[in-house]
């Protein structure tokens, strides 16, 4: 059965099939589809989950080696396989497995966008026959507006119709950017109704520095510009919690990328898993080359210190820590023992 993201959500009200293929270049949509599958699998008794990241050094057959093995604690298993398009050997493994898939296993393949030829292959047809294939393609304008509305509801955020239209136009189908804007509006306005004026105030224009300018300059290693933007945000009365949020988001992605590369995982795969846009990848690659484990640990320590300062749980000034944190991300230490 072939579905889009919306069709998958409706399908998940039914018992799970043997195999699911999540393919496409809309990373956030793919991640949310995977999260929905995990939640449904847990509800349906698939309490054990294992993950396999397949690259040229990893045999597809290894992902299915224990598919018939029963756990001491669970007899239902969700098997996630994160990979590129199966090669000839991988396709054969899939076709063989799907000739008689175990009832107690659900396999989820998380793949990049597949060209038309791949979707006509035998292995893809076998997946479609035994399970569900989900195209995680960019949304239409109507679907994008629906998605933002749903995301606002999850955040208990109410937008006036013109505010919703403005938010859609501002982000032009970019789900990751829209997600960030909805999160920011939720932090700024809580459960209050958000008007067009509120959205225009919150969405920065090109004449002013934004929160995302801060994280971008820090990742690029431009310490002077980073400090300038931080002082500008402080002077404008920007909320400390929002500054912390945007820095924390980039540092957590950076930490995950660093850990993954240390484990030998390819960067392209890690970028896909953690929602790093193609335009950001070169910046993150550059940052990874100038970062080390000690700096990563220091940045995470400063995140915790900033959070405590904002909550009044220590005696430090939150803006002082945010300055250390942002400059630390840019590669500059204000003090010998700082990040």
- The string of pLDDT tens digits covering residues 246-282 is 999 999 999 999 999 989 999 888 988 888 877 788 8
Stronger pLDDT, 70 or 107, i.e. the higher one? 107
Domain that holds residue 288: 205-339
Domain boundary among the residues 203, 227, 243 is at 203
Taking all residues of the chain, what is their mean pLDDT, rounded to a whole number? 86
Residue 173 has pLDDT above 60, yes or no: yes
Give the model's pLDDT for residue 207.
Answer: 39
Per-residue pLDDT band for 205 (boundaries 50, 70, 90) equals very low
Give the model's pLDDT for residue 69.
Answer: 53
Structural contact between residues 54 and 83, judged by C-beta atoms closer than 8 angstroms: yes
Stronger pLDDT, 114 or 64, i.e. the higher one? 114
Give the model's pLDDT for residue 65.
Answer: 76
For residue 23, the surrounding DSSP H or E stretch is strand 19-23
Residues facing 21 on adjacent strands: 109, 133
198 with 209, same domain: the answer is no
Domain boundary among the residues 135, 152, 185 is at 135
6 with 124, same domain: the answer is yes
- CB count within 10 Å of CB 261 equals 14
Per-residue pLDDT band for 336 (boundaries 50, 70, 90) equals very low
175 with 305, same domain: the answer is no
Count of the separate structural domains present in the chain: 3
192 with 306, same domain: the answer is no
Give the model's pLDDT for residue 314.
Answer: 83
325 with 248, same domain: the answer is yes
pLDDT (mean) for 303-316: 89
CA distance 311 to 308: 5
Give the model's pLDDT for residue 338.
Answer: 42
CA distance 255 to 71: 32
175 with 121, same domain: the answer is no
Residue 208 has pLDDT above 60, yes or no: no
pLDDT (mean) for 178-191: 82
Domain boundary among the residues 135, 170, 192 is at 135
Stronger pLDDT, 178 or 34, i.e. the higher one? 34
98 with 195, same domain: the answer is no
pLDDT by residue (tens digit) across 49-82? 888 888 777 778 888 876 655 444 557 899 999 9
Quick check: pTM over 0.85?
no
Lowest mean pLDDT among 70-84, 102-116, 158-172, 293-307: 70-84
195 with 312, same domain: the answer is no
List the Cα angle 278/280/285 in 5-degree steps.
105
235 with 259, same domain: the answer is yes
């Amino acid at each position: 059965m072939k579905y889009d993201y919306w069709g998958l959500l409706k399908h998940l009200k039914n018992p799970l099939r043997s195999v699911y293929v999540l393919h496409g270049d809309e990373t956030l949509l793919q991640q949310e589809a995977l999260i929905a599958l995990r939640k449904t699998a847990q509800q349906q008794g698939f309490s054990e989950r294992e993950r396999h990241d397949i690259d040229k050094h990893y045999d597809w057959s290894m992902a299915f080696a224990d598919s018939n093995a029963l756990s001491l604690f669970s007899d239902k298993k969700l098997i996630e396989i994160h990979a590129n398009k199966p090669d000839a050997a991988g396709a054969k493994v899939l076709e063989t497995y799907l000739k008689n898939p175990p009832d107690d296993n659900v396999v989820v393949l998380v793949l990049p966008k597949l060209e038309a030829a791949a979707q006509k292959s035998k292995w893809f047809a076998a997946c479609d026959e035994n399970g569900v294939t989900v195209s995680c393609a960019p949304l239409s304008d109507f679907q994008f507006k629906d998605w933002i509305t749903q995301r606002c509801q999850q955040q208990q955020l109410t937008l006036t119709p013109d505010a919703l239209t403005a938010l859609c136009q501002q982000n032009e189908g970019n789900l990751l950017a829209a997600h960030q804007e909805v999160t920011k509006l939720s932090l700024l306005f809580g459960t209050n109704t958000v008007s067009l004026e509120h959205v225009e105030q919150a969405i920065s224009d090109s004449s002013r520095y934004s929160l995302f300018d801060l994280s971008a300059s820090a990742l690029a290693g431009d310490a002077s510009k980073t400090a300038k933007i931080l002082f500008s945000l402080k002077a404008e009365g920007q909320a400390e919690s929002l500054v912390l949020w945007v820095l924390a988001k980039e540092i957590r992605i950076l930490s995950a990328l660093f850990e993954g590369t240390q484990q030998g995982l390819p960067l392209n795969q890690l970028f896909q898993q953690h929602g790093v846009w193609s335009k950001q990848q070169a910046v993150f690659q550059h940052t990874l080359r100038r970062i080390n484990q000690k700096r990563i640990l220091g940045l995470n320590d400063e995140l915790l210190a900033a959070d405590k300062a904002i909550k009044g749980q220590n005696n430090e000034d939150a803006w002082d820590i945010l300055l250390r944190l942002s400059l630390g991300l840019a590669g500059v230490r204000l003090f010998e023992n700082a990040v």
